[in-house]
Amino acid sequence: MIRFEHVTKRYADGEAVVKDLSFEVTEGELVTLVGPSGCGKTTTMKMVNRLTEPTSGRILLAGEDVSTVDPVRLRRRIGYVIQQVGLFPHKTVLENTATVPHLLGWQRKKSRERAAELLDLVGLDPAVFGDRYPEQLSGGQRQRVGVARALAADPPVLLLDEPFGAVDPVVREHLQNEFLKLQSQVRKTILFVTHDIEEAVRLGDRIAVYGDGAIEQFAAPSTVLGAPASPYVADFVGADRGLKRLSVTPIEPGDLEQPPVVHLDDPLSRAAAALDGEGARWAVVLDDQGHLHGWLSAEAAGRPEEGPVRGHARRMEAWLPVGSSLKQAFSTMLQHDAGWIAVLDGARFLGVLTPARLHEALRRSIDADANEIPREAVALESVSSV
């Protein structure tokens, strides 16, 4: 959808700030462009909507060379949030949001309705915020107006230049979550610039890591974190990349251990036999609908008592849906001080994740990404490094 072909940009004073850049953002994809200050991120973005022109190479938008498209017509198809938001200070929030529809010649009523709808979408009540001026908003609220304004004419493509740059980490995370929710509904093609690797990893379907005007690595977040392409990338993503990677690696059914399973209404003696048979120290207890109830220790099962498991099982609160991140799994273990957590598919019990299995899952997924194969195809014995 947005395709860079050997793009180089040299400003008047000579040095190239973007060097022979080639990559593509596919339709409906969110690519984050991450790199240190001054490496050429904003310049890259501005060449897409022709706020600046490449010195050589070309950029295609939906197959069309942008240098052949009238800039005004081009920009109608591209929502743009400039670095530092850039709201018009003398216009209200509603008027700011309606800027592009207004420029496109929509009727006033229709533009205002659309603006109100978008403010709602980014979590700002138009009745409360619509008539305020930008200076009467917090930094985070201003950034939301910036995003609403970029979406106003429903462009298929968005260029977002550090849209959440000016807010504290808590508000930022909140805005990122809302933004991801929004993107799952609207599926725009997005080039998103940030210098924050955490943000790049959380939001990007793929990440382009910029060195000095050139891409050092272009891959899925998990690959960038697990198998950095160069010492520069490794350094940029940070020494704690293993931890960051936990947050982008999902729990898969193949990661799970299968302890003995007993039911609330099973006789205790049968449960004891099942545990004994497998030499297990505990069993998972399911209720009569097959939903997770808790667990039963071998010790409790071994009591010389009649009656069902029900009276001896303990409740288990530490569980997660399959597909949750390994980071969530780790954090749930810590929060419940649990040696394992149950993993469910809807209400169905799939198995348990233990710290050892979590570690294995991480190692396998790193190797799988490095070799571009599915995780289950990696034999743990063959895993090269963590």
Q: Residues interacting with ligand ATP, by CB under 6 A? A: 11, 17, 37-43, 83, 195
If one asks whether residue 43 binds Mg ion (CB under 5 A), the answer comes out as no
Nearer to ligand ATP, 39 or 320 (CB): 39
Query: 30 — phi, psi (to 5°)?
Result: -110, 110
CB of 45 to Mg ion, least distance (A): 8
| Residue placing its CB nearer to ligand ATP in the complex, 17 or 320 | 17
* For ligand ATP, the closer CB: 51 or 273: 51
Minimal CB distance residue for Mg ion: 42
At a CB cut-off of 8 Å and minimum separation 6, what does 69 contact? Answer: 50, 61
Give the number of residues in contact with Mg ion, rule: CB under 5 A: 3
Nearer to ligand ATP, 196 or 287 (CB): 196
For ligand ATP, the closer of residues 189 and 194 by Cβ is: 194
Shortest separation between residue 39's beta carbon and Mg ion, angstroms: 9
How far is residue 295 from each of residues 101, 134, 261, 305, measured CA to CA in Å?
Answer: 59, 55, 9, 18
Query: Which of Mg ion, ligand ATP, none sits in contact with 301, Cβ below 5 to 8 A by type?
Result: none
Query: What are residue 217's DSSP bridge partners?
Result: 209
Minimal distance in Å, beta carbon 196 to Mg ion? 12
Q: Judged by CB under 5 A, which stretch of 38-46, 63-71, 221-229, 341-349 contacts Mg ion?
A: 38-46
> What's the distance, CA 351 to chain centroid?
26
Q: Which does 71 bind (CB under 5 to 8 A by kind): ligand ATP, Mg ion, none?
A: none
42 near Mg ion, rule: CB under 5 A? yes
Rounded distance between C-alpha atoms, residue 179 and residue 177, angstroms: 5
Report the residue number, 210 or 282, with the smaller CB distance to ligand ATP: 210
* Sequence letter at residue 227: A
Interface segment toward Mg ion; rule CB under 5 A; list 75-83, 177-185, 334-342, 374-382: 75-83
Q: Residue 379: what residue type? A: A
Query: Are the beta carbons of 56 and 218 closer than 8 angstroms?
Result: no
Query: Which of ligand ATP, Mg ion, none does residue 184 bind (CB under 5 to 8 Å by kind)?
Result: none
Q: In angstroms, what is the minimal distance from the CB of 261 to ligand ATP?
A: 53
By the 10 Å C-beta count (0-12 exposed, 13-18 middle, 19+ buried), 36 is classed as exposed
Q: 3-state secondary structure string, 249-306?
A: CECCHHHCECCCEEECCCEHHHHHHHHHHHCCCEEEEECCCCEEEEEEEHHHHCCCCC
- In the bound complex, what is the minimum distance in angstroms from residue 315's beta carbon to ligand ATP? 50
The three-state secondary structure class of 61 is: strand
Could you tell which of ligand ATP, Mg ion, none binds residue 88, using a CB distance below 5 to 8 A set by kind? Answer: none
Least distance between ligand ATP and beta carbon 210 (Å): 7
The single-letter DSSP state of residue 230 is S
* Nearer Cβ to ligand ATP (46/363): 46
The span from the CA of 35 to the CA of 126, in Å, is: 35
In contact, 275 and 385? CB cutoff 8 Å: no
Q: Which stretch binds Mg ion (CB under 5 A): 83-91, 164-172, 323-331, 344-352?
A: 83-91
Rounded to an integer, what distance in angstroms lies between the CA atom of residue 24 and that of residue 61?
A: 10
Residues that bind Mg ion (CB under 5 A): 41-42, 83
